[in-house]
């Protein structure tokens, strides 16, 4: 009897069969990944006021927050950087009787904040907005972007049709995490209203360490701090406030960084900040906004124990800010202890 014949492993038909199998398997896996991402919608492309997004699993706020801007029950929002992130929407809701989302993003540039605010304003009826301002809004040449991914298409009205554009290993991983969260097998990384405590646990607070960080974050004046230099970002703030309905509550707050991170009143940086506040107050008066200045030398900003570093206050301070904002809106009066000044009030 003849022995069975075997094709050598380098026979062309063996390799062509392997190649076909590989291509088919890759295509099936690719289609499955696309289907998974499209079905779970990890970045909320289909979110709308009547269709809230699913669990927020990606900690990159620039990828996660557009879905909150599109969906959910919110009629108010906070915009800003990390100096506004600790304002708890639950406390703001109780203070102002609306439904807040906190969409402040770490190190967000004015342009990034403007894009996110524009998306939020275009998607729902608005009852309140709160813009937390930092020094970048006063800069003569503020950066347009940071090193963090910021896909402009994700902020466009046509984004719900862009399922393929979001395809990446990151989106697949995020979709899997969201699927587990839907099943109760994982927890969302960020609360559904955008709030997250990004500072360390209060139990770990170390005043000596905080003081070292505060000293490291002290502001330095430069020629760019000239009071008369342009402040182009304020034009975007003016435009955004003009797009908010006239009956809505509009709050603009200079956030309370430590005194070390502020320009001394007699320095170039201090004169620059004063000029910026004056221009912002004019915008606020024209747009019917309450403008509150916490970014000043005060018992709050000179107390090291209130801060983790030169920019970031602690949770008890965040709770006080909500209470102070409520008082500023209600009375239009400066704080008797000098913690804040009301620069404009309708």
Q: Supply the DSSP string of 255-295, one letter for each residue.
A: ----GGGSPPTTSHHHHHHHHHHHHHHHHHHHHT-EEEE--
pLDDT for 163: 66
What are the tens digits of pLDDT across the range 6-57? 555 555 665 566 566 666 666 676 666 566 666 678 888 888 877 778 888 8
pLDDT for 44: 83
What is the DSSP pairing of strand 76-79 with strand 100-102? parallel
What distance lies between CA 200 and its chain's CA centroid? Answer: 18
The Cα–Cα gap between 144 and 108 comes to 9
**Does the pLDDT of residue 206 top 90, yes or no?**
yes
**What pLDDT band is residue 87 in, cutting at 50, 70 and 90?**
very high
The percentage of the chain sitting over the pLDDT mark of 90, rounded to a whole number, equals: 61
pLDDT for 19: 64
Contacts of residues 187-191 at CB distance under 8 Å and 24 or more positions apart, as own/partner, are 188/55, 188/56, 188/57, 189/56, 189/57, 189/58, 189/59, 190/56, 190/59, 190/61, 190/64, 191/56
Burial of 238 (0-12, 13-18, 19+ CB in 10 A): middle
Structure tokens, 290: 């309450």
Residue 161: count of CB within 10 angstroms of its CB: 10
What are the tens digits of pLDDT across the range 255-272? 999 999 998 888 888 899
Q: Across the strands, what pairs with 131?
A: 79, 252
What is the spatial order of strands in the sheet that 290-293 belongs to?
100-102, 76-79, 128-133, 249-254, 290-293, 341-344
Which residues does 200 contact at the CB level (< 8 Å), separation at least 6?
A: 308
Structure tokens, 141: 């040449």
What is the DSSP pairing of strand 290-293 with strand 76-79? unpaired
The Cα–Cα gap between 81 and 131 comes to 10
What are the tens digits of pLDDT across the range 211-265? 999 999 987 655 456 777 899 999 999 999 999 999 999 999 999 999 999 988 8
Phi, psi (deg, nearest 5) at residue 130: -135, 115
Average pLDDT (162-183) is 74
What is the DSSP pairing of strand 128-133 with strand 249-254? parallel
**Does the pLDDT of residue 284 top 80, yes or no?**
yes
Three-state SS for 254? strand
Structure tokens, 262: 């502020």
> Minimal CA–CA distance to 91: which of 340, 316, 333, 284?
316
| 148 close to 62: Cβ distance less than 8 angstroms | yes
Q: Across the strands, what pairs with 56?
A: 190
**Does the pLDDT of residue 181 top 70, yes or no?**
yes
Of 47-51, 146-150, 274-278, minimum mean pLDDT range: 47-51
Q: What angle do CA 132, 138, 142 make, to 5 degrees?
A: 100
């Amino acid at each position: 009897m003849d022995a069975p014949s075997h094709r050598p492993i380098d026979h062309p038909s063996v390799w062509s069969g392997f190649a076909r199998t590989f291509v088919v398997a890759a295509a099936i896996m690719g289609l499955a990944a696309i289907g998974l991402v499209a079905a779970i919608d990890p970045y909320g492309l289909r979110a709308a006021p009547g269709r809230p997004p699913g669990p927020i699993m990606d900690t990159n706020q620039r990828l996660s927050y557009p879905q909150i801007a599109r969906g959910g029950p919110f009629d108010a929002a906070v915009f800003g950087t990390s100096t506004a992130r600790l304002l708890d929407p639950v406390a703001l809701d109780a203070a102002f009787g609306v439904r807040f989302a906190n969409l402040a993003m770490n190190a967000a540039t004015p342009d990034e904040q403007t894009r996110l605010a524009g998306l939020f304003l275009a998607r729902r009826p608005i009852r309140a907005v709160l813009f937390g301002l930092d020094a970048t809004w006063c800069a003569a040449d503020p950066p347009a972007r940071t090193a963090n991914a910021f896909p402009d298409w994700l902020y466009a009205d046509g984004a719900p049709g862009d399922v393929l554009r979001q395809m990446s290993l990151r989106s697949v991983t995020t979709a899997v995490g969201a699927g587990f969260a839907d099943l109760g097998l994982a927890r969302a990384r960020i609360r559904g209203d955008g709030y997250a405590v990004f500072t360390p646990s209060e139990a770990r607070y170390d005043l000596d360490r905080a003081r070292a960080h505060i000293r490291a974050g002290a502001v330095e004046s430069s020629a760019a701090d000239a009071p008369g230099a342009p402040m182009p970002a304020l034009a975007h703030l003016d435009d955004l406030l003009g797009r908010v309905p006239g009956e809505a509550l509009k709050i603009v707050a200079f956030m309370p960084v430590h005194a070390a991170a502020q320009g001394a009143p007699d320095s170039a940086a201090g004169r620059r900040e004063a000029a910026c506040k004056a221009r912002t107050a004019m915008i606020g008066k024209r747009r019917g906004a309450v403008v509150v200045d916490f970014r000043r030398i005060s018992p709050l900003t000179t107390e090291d124990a209130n801060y983790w570093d030169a920019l970031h206050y602690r949770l008890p301070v965040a709770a006080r800010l909500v209470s102070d904002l409520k008082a500023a809106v209600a009375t239009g009066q400066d704080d008797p202890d000098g913690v804040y000044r009301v620069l404009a009030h309708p």
